[in-house]
Amino acid sequence: MLGFNGEDFIPFLVFSIPIIAIVGGITAGIIKTLGRQRLIELAQQERIAAIQRGIDPSKLPPMPNLALDEDELLGMSGPEQDRRRAQGLLIGGIIVTAASIGMIAFFSWS
């Protein structure tokens, strides 16, 4: 019966981390794009419904712009955007640190 050897697993781990990061980044981008498209679609449907009810189109709020950043869609100012970005980086760092400690513990006990 074959036993688990941590040294045989390390080459797979070395290549799997960048692959998972790349796939995760692409997936996050796709999800963000789909969310923005859905936002535009809902705004268009709302606008069409308001026009059908007889509301003047010039009184309706402007359509959201896909080119804007998510923070700009939320109406954040420059310092608020910086604070949010810093908080996101801190959370990412904590996640990476926790994952690293978990992998170190896993491989040290093997």
- Asked if residue 5 is part of any domain, the answer here is no
List Cβ neighbours of 15 (8 Å cut-off, separation of 6 or more): none
Residue 45's domain comprises 15-67
Question: Residue 74 burial by CB count (10 A; 0-12/13-18/19+): exposed, middle or buried?
Answer: exposed
The residue assigned the tokens 């869609």 is 73
Q: Is residue 1 a part of any domain in this protein?
A: no
- Please indicate, yes or no, whether residues 78 and 49 belong to a single structural domain of this protein: no
Q: What is the pLDDT of residues 17-55, one digit of tens each?
A: 888 889 998 999 899 889 888 988 988 898 899 889 998
- Residue 10 tokens, joined: 């390390």
Whole-number Å distance between alpha carbons of 43 and 46? 5
pTM of the prediction? 0.50
pLDDT at 1 > cutoff 50: no
Domain shared by 51 and 87, yes or no: no
Residue at 63 is within a domain: yes
Task: Please give the tally of structural domains in the chain.
Answer: 2
d(CA 29, CA 49): 30
